[in-house]
Structure formats: structure tokens, C-alpha cells
Structure 1
Amino acid sequence: MRDTQTKRPSSIGAPQLAFAASALGLTFGAPAWAEDAAERLTERLDPLERYQANFEQQILDGSGERLQSARGEMWLSRPGMLRWEVEAPYSQTVVSDGDDVYMYDPDLEQVTVQEMDDRVTHTPALLLSGSANDLTESYEVFYEQEGGEDVFTLVPISADTLFEELSMVFEGETLTELWMMDSTGQRTSITFSNITLNGDIARDMFDFEIPEGADVIREEL
């Protein structure tokens, strides 16, 4: 294992970790008031202790041209634990154990390690692992119904985030899609399938052992 020099944060795996996207041209009726929408979202997220699913992810530029697509599997256990594995077209693993976030790129033989704090938990990939109350305190929340689905749109209160707008789509009580738009106009959509809510997930799923010989970049916040 080779430890490289400490670097300033570079938004850990922003494209790969984008856990949402903007409305991608969807139009809705008038949204619910923010306070009511935040209460509704909290009611949806509070019972969500564990979540496992396959995912399909697409990243589009501002004109709608596809820049990247990927698929994989994710496991979530609140508070603070996440495992995100990209299977194709490339391999990548992101693990949060509640204290640190590890991003492993086997092609580069490189592991990036970043301490988990408020800045990290506000990245899209880790957003769902945090407290629902913290979420609604950090974002203005709006609620709409579209085609029988419930859509919660989050707009960051602070400018220090990776995205300008985040949407969560629920069918019934189940989270099925996430959408995000960043400040450059880049949009990411993630669709979940084979979803298991509050099933058993082994604790060691959120442990990460740094591979022998890998370069390690430790980022300061």
C-alpha cells in the first residue's frame, strides 16, 4: 500500500456518485409548500433503515447528449453506511463505514479516502444515508405528484454542494428514481430495480479493506 501526499477534496467521484438529477424537462403542477413537503419527505425517509437495489445510471450534458452510462448494485444502512458498486462498463467501489468514505478504482489501483462529515454527507451518493431531519434542514423541499408518482425536489440552502437541484421519485412508499442537475447543466438519472426495503444486510458489507499495493490518497476537508 502506497500512501500519497494529502490533497484537498475534489468532490469524491462526483459523476459516478451522482445520486439523482434534475427534472429533465418534466413539468408539474403547483408544488406543496416547503414546510408541508419537508414533513412528507421525512415521513417517507424515517422508516427507511436499509435499502438494497440494482441501479441504472445515465449522465447527460446540458443539451441532453449522453456522456456516460453505468449499472451496478447498492446497499444502504442508516445512519451513514453505504456500499455502491459499479459493475459495467467499468468497475468501481464506494464504501462509507460511517466514519470514512473510500472510493476504489481497480483500473488505477487507487483508493481515495475522505473523512465523513457534513460536507461529504451532502454529496448525492451519501445523501440518503443521513438523518431525514438534517436533510430537511439543509434543503428547501417541494412536493408534486406526476403520473401517480410522488416527486420530492430538494434545492440546497447552501451554495457548497455538488448539485443545484435533486429529485426523489417514489412509487407508493418505495424510492425508485433519483435525479440531479449540477451548476454546469449536467444531469444524472438513476433508476432502481430489484429493490429490497429494510431487509437483512451484513454489517461487514460496509467495511473496506485497502487492497495491497494500491495508492492511497487521503483528502482533507
Structure 2
Amino acid sequence: MTRAKTLLVLLLMCSALFAVGCIDEQLTAEQIAEQMQQKEEGIEDYSYTMYITSSSFGQDNVMESEMIFKKPYKMRSVVKQPAEQTGTLTVSDGETIWIYDPHENTVIQMEMPDTPEDIQIDYVGMIGGILNESDVSFSGLEEFDNRTVYVMRLRPKEETENPLFASNVKVWIDKETWMPLKYEIYDEDENPMISFEIRNLKVNTGISDDEFEFEIPDGAEVEVIDLNEIKPPEEMTLEEAKDTAGFDILLPSYIPDGYEFDHALFSNNSAALVDDQVFERVTLVYENGDEWLHISEVFFGTGSSDMAVMGDAETVSINGSEGKFVAFTQTNLLRWTTGDIELTITGMVDKDEIVKVAESMN
């Protein structure tokens, strides 16, 4: 769901930028965001083929999916590649979400979580924030998927206070429909980390509600998950985290100058157990003014991690263990495993400092 929201936010932002006259540098971020809202209101349904290309540990991975959407919350997605995921189906009729794995003949069924009617997503505020934290430039016209597209770059401003709200992104926007057909996210060295391509885009074609119906296949094993039972990470003190976690939390003996421990976050997947994989997660949060450093520790009671690091990860040694380091636009990430615990350090400090913190974990 997070990826879908990210795509929608980018779609709305790009549509707004060009719907108001394409390159009016006098418009404020708030004015652009308001225009975005108007443009989005005219979209009732859309479909496309999505290609996602990412780099994990030096290897390129491609996922191809056929996707259709209809307001307010209906969607259908079928994976075409890679081979091990071919046929994986995700369907939502606006009330229930089904995820079907044809290889295992299993279905995960989730009811849409309860959301108060008076709560609305502030897309205007989100887009305004992204634009305010970015330097926007336009590179002219190109051809993509037999369409004429505008090319736009967004780079984080050096003085941005929120690096997570700004991205180093290149976007290709369809001149006819004002919708993004491709975007790439880059690391701080301008290397592509992940690319999204939308091909065969169709908008407002009158997609039937029948497309969002799902019948559980014969013999399929069904697992029902109540999304209302899934709780966000609980904030607590370090001592409370030690008492709550079912594993010994590793603590660093070194922290960069100026950083102090602020709080811990605890979560587990007891309410949404999938593939018999049980885990607990504790995140130690350190802060230095507006800057932060997070140390995440995941203990797998059963199963194991299958999480991949995006980008061309650099191999580093951490007390004899192999770690993977990735430099993002304004943050860095280091991941490694010790015993039954997977550790990830993410923060606004350089590589040497992160490795030093990792080596001090006991």
C-alpha cells in the first residue's frame, strides 16, 4: 500500500505542475498543490503496465505487473514477472483485500481498516512539502512509449530540514494526459537506485466493477488478517523495551558526538503472521537537534529475513561479519546480521561513523 500511495502522490504532483501551464516558475508550492487537487478530481479510473527495476547487491531485478484502479479504493494487480511471482494477484473491492499466491494456492484476506469519515489525506500539504524541500528543474521534451513527455528533475535543497520529504528524482510526464510515465530515484552519486515505468496508460475508460471481484480458488488455504488489530510501533523507554522484547537488545558503546538517546520503538507481527514468519523489532532512536540516527534490531523467532537493500550495496566488514552499506541522498544505511538478529543503522551521519557505531554493538 505504501508504494501505491507514493505513486499517487507523484502522479498528482506531476499532473499539477503541467496542468497549470507547464513551467510557470512564479507559482508557489501551495498553488501548484491546489492545482494538483483539481486535476486529480477528474480521474475516475486508470490502468497501466508497471515495470519496476531495482538494484539489489549489484543485481538488477525487474518486476512487471498489470494494474487497474477505480475510485475510491478499488484496485487489481497481476504480476507478470519475475517467474517465481508470476500470477500473484492482489484485488480490492473497496472493502476487502485479497492476495492470492497461485504457486502455493494460498489466499491472504484482509478487511479494509476502519477510517473515520472526517479524516482526509492532505495531498495538498504533502505535495507542497515535497516541492518546498526540492529544487525543481525542467529538461525539455523527449519521446517515451510513443508519447511526447516533459522531463523534470527534483533534487533536495541543501538546506532542507527534512531529507525524507525530499528526493533526488527524474520524472517523465506525458504531454497529453499530464501523468507520469516514468520516474527514477537516484543516490547521492547520481546512480539510479530504482526505476518505475508506466506503459500502456489508459485513463477514464469506464472500468467495470466486475474487475474487482474475487472468488477464492478451490482448495486454497485462506488466512484472514484483521488490519484493525495491527498496531503501530509502541514508543517506550529503553528499560521498557528490554522488559518487553523477547530477545537481548544489543546496545552501542559508541554514538557520534551530539547524539543522545531519545526513545525506543517496539513492534511485532503477532497480529499479521504471514508464512509462519514471527519477528519482533526494536528501534533505538538517537537525536541531535533536527538530525537523527536509528538502530533497528529484528529478531526472527521463526523464518528468516528476505529484505533486500536497494541500490549498489557496498560490502563492509563488521567485527568479522559481512555488512551491506548504501548511501542515499542525505542518509546512509548499513545492514548486517549477528546471530538471530538482523541490524540496520540508518542516519544522517557518514559511512565511517555508521560503521564505528556498528562495530561497537554488544
TM-score (structure 2 length as normaliser): 0.40
1:103 to 91, 99, 106: 99
Q: CA deviation at 1:206?
A: 0.8
Structure with greater contact order relative to length (CA < 8 Å, sep ≥ 6): 1
SS of 1:54's partner is strand
Summarize the Cα distance change of 1:190–1:202 in structure 2 as closer, same or farther, 3 Å threshold.
same
Q: CA deviation at 1:180?
A: 6.9
2:182 to 168, 177, 184: 177
Q: Which residue of 1 aligns with 2:108?
A: 112
Q: Distance in 2 between matches of 1:81 and 1:166?
A: 30
Q: Distance in 1 between matches of 2:183 and 2:6?
A: 6
2:62 counterpart of 1:69? yes
Q: CA deviation at 1:202?
A: 1.5
Larger radius of gyration: 2
Summarize the Cα distance change of 1:43–1:145 in structure 2 as closer, same or farther, 3 Å threshold.
farther
Q: Distance in 2 between matches of 1:189 and 1:53?
A: 16
Q: Which residue of 2 aligns with 1:136?
A: 124
1:81 to 65, 74, 79: 74
- Please give the root-mean-square deviation of Cα atoms over the aligned residues, in Å: 4.0
Matches within 5 A, 1:139-178: 140-142=129-131, 144-148=136-140, 149=150, 170-172=173-175, 173-177=178-182
SS of 1:45's partner is helix
Q: CA deviation at 1:97?
A: 0.8
Q: Which residue of 1 aligns with 2:45?
A: 50
Q: CA deviation at 1:175?
A: 3.0
TM-score (structure 1 length as normaliser): 0.61
Contact preservation (8 Å) 2:130, 2:166:
no
Contact preservation (8 Å) 1:51, 1:199:
yes
**1:55-83 deviations in Å (ceiling 9; x for gaps):** 2121334x7x3452121311111111111
**1:4-33 deviations in Å (ceiling 9; x for gaps):** xxxxxxxx7x78x7965xx9xxxxxx9x75
Q: CA deviation at 1:108?
A: 1.7
Contact preservation (8 Å) 1:18, 1:180:
no
Letter in 1 for 2:139: G
Percent identity between matched residues is 23
